[in-house]
Amino acid sequence: MKNVLPIVICLILFSCKEQKNTITKEPEMAQEVDSPKKWLTYEGADENAKHIVLISGDEEYRSEEALPQLAKILSKHHGFKCTVLFAQEEDKPGIVNANYNKNIPGLEALTSADMMVVFTRFRALPDDQMKYIDDYLKSGKPVMGLRTATHGFNFPEDSDSQYAHYSFNYKGDKTEWDGGFGRLVLGETWINHHGHHKHQSTKGMVAIGANTTGITNGISDGDVWGASDVYGVTLPLPGDSQPIILGQVMNRKGEYDESDVFYGMRPTDDEIATTNKDGKSLGDELMPVTW
């Protein structure tokens, strides 16, 4: 019995030591949890790959879903490095909230970007984030705007932002910025819907002279067909803007079915629209396409 007692005491002490080590390790393990991922990065073909930054942030057209898919295609099939940014609340990093218009982290990626793709709607970002966009534009590098980018920014009238002139409806002292970012950079700001929104579709028709640019190689009238209407513009377009694809509004047959992604784009939907929802005549007028 005397020989067994020291062994029992040693076992008890060893057990207590193990328990103590377990307790002290738990806080260390908690500190090793990865921080939330605020943006996505798709690597390029090599270290010299051109860098494209894609900025999402709209409440209607699901840019936070479309741009990662576009980035995957650009990375996997064309070798570009791509960074995709998202709208999110400051206290909920990594959780996409397209309805929150005051924060898009990661815009510093524009400092190494070779191209910017913007798909935002009515954003009012803080000055430290807007500066990255402003600096990028001043670099003269290429920009592509999708759909709502024509009205991608909207600062309140009483805003003290240094970048309030980016607003889609800007009419201030900086006269060259009339119409904001959309008008000055992309060629047009928000004007109206050309066609009945969600009730008519739009065929893409190659503009006269556009076939000499190389952009429409392999594309014929009707090859581009969107389930939505297009945005109206003020004609003539400003500066040296050149339309490439024009939108021809088409009537849909049958009742609107939101779950049918091809609704309005079937061979039977072949009737050119003459009016939109307010009775405004459309005829066979064509609009430069901003889907």
**Residues 167-179: tens digit of each pLDDT:** 999 999 999 999 9
Q: Tell me how far apart the alpha carbons of residues 245 and 275 are, in angstroms, rounded to a whole number.
A: 21
Q: Tell me how far apart the alpha carbons of residues 92 and 214 are, in angstroms, rounded to a whole number.
A: 44
Q: Which two tokens stand for residue 5?
A: 């007692």
Biggest CA–CA distance in the chain, Å, is 107
How high is the pLDDT of residue 19?
47
Domain residue ranges in the chain? 40-186, 192-291
> Over the chain, what is the mean pLDDT?
86
Q: Which two tokens stand for residue 79?
A: 């070798």
Asked if residues 237 and 246 have their Cβ atoms less than 8 Å apart, the reply is no
Radius of gyration of the chain (CA): 27
Residue 158 has pLDDT above 70, yes or no: yes
How high is the pLDDT of residue 4?
52
Q: What residue type is assigned to position 66 of the chain?
A: A
Mean pLDDT for the stretch of residues 262-279: 81
How high is the pLDDT of residue 34?
73
Residue 114 has pLDDT above 70, yes or no: yes
Write out the DSSP string of 234-270.
-SSPSTT----EEEEEEEPPSS--TT-TTTT-STT--
Distance separating the N- and C-terminal Cα atoms of the chain = 89
Asked if residues 189 and 183 have their Cβ atoms less than 8 Å apart, the reply is yes
Q: Which two tokens stand for residue 89?
A: 């609340």
- pTM, two decimals, is 0.81
Architecture category of domain 40-186 in CATH: 3-Layer(aba) Sandwich (3.40)
